[in-house]
Amino acid sequence: MKKQIKPRAVLLSKRANVFYLEHVRIMQKDDRVVYLTDTGADVEQFFNIPERNTAFLLLGKGSSLTDAAARKLADSNVVIGFCGSGGSPLFCATDMTFLTTQSEYRPTEYMQGWMRLWLDDAKRVEAAKRMLKKRLDWTLDAWSGDAELLRRKVVLDDGLLRWFEHGIGKADATSELLSLEGVWAKRLFAKLAEGFKLTEFKREEGKGSREMREDIVNGFLDHGNYIAYGYAAVTLNGLGISFALPLLHGKTRRGGLVFDVADLIKDAYVMPLAFARGSAGTKRQAFRDELIERLQDAGILDRLFTFVEELSQKDF
């Protein structure tokens, strides 16, 4: 009898697939993970989930997951999040967590390194500064290569960049960095709103209305952010670093570090695309597909793994 060879999983940082599914039943069938559509049609369809090349799943309304499928997904190190309609919010969003795989074979050196910097106030502030500087670099790089932003003359001017860099450099405490980060985000929103002629735009999380273009942009921002949280969760889970050790956000929330890592890509990729596609009235599915494709093209998982790994081993 020929021995069955178990297929090898793709390295987490190189995985290509991210899924948002709703009205489906996820199950194991013939040693594969599949989902069965649950739309009420006369004939429902099966679709395969290539779990060994999948980074994470977001499961929306009307979704269910069998124990056999959950076990196989865990064996392939796939992170799962249950969320509301349209990809946000995660249920129990006051405690930002995903269902992570429970393998005991996780790396230890990155968690140990992270603990060394996290328990030292000065090192934690320095690490937070490094994270904000990386956030600035990635945003500048992405915006300067975005044809839609360039066409609309939405740019990060030298004055704003110098202000942010100077503020990061002189900050001595996390509270100062948080205040600085809040102003930075507001200025980016203002630039995008002006560039896309959304004069009434105001950032409102969780706004379900789609009456105005501003509402659609807010919805896309929410949905895009939760995709970013998925990438962050995969990175931290893969490196074995607890979500409960944030540098900036959520000191009393178990998932605070997910916010910190996700911020590395939200300004750079989620915000510009949410404004561009939201102001044009693009369908949610098209926005989601394009965002995932852009993040894949940018090699985001690889870059997140590399940066967080290096930061955890930094000797400040």
Higher pLDDT, 21 or 139: 139
Cα distance between residue 89 and residue 226, in whole Å = 7
Q: Which domains does the chain have, with CATH numbers?
A: 12-82 (3.100.10.20), 109-312 (1.20.120.920)
Taking only Cα atoms into account, the Rg of the chain, rounded to an integer number of angstroms, comes to 20
Q: Name the pLDDT band for 255 (thresholds 50, 70, 90).
A: confident
For 164-193, what is the mean pLDDT?
A: 95
Spatial CA neighbour of 149 closest among 267, 18, 13 = 267
Tokens of 255: 């998932």
Q: Among residues 126, 179, 134, 73, which one has the least CA distance to residue 300?
A: 134
Mean of the pLDDT values across residues 178-191?
95
Are 277 and 290 in contact, with CB atoms under 8 Å apart? yes
Residue 313 pLDDT > 90, yes or no?
A: yes
For position 261, what pLDDT does the model report? Answer: 95
What's the confidence (pLDDT) of residue 71? 87
Q: Is the pLDDT of residue 244 over 80?
A: yes
Give the span between the Cα atoms of 203 and 180, in whole angstroms.
17
CA nearest 219: which of 154, 299, 284, 158?
284
CA distance 211 to 282: 14
Least confident of 2-6, 164-168, 231-235: 2-6
Higher-confidence position of 316 and 88: 316
- Give the β-pairing of 32-37 and 46-49: antiparallel
Phi, psi of 59 (to 5 degrees): -110, 120
**pLDDT category of residue 92 using cuts at 50, 70 and 90:** very low
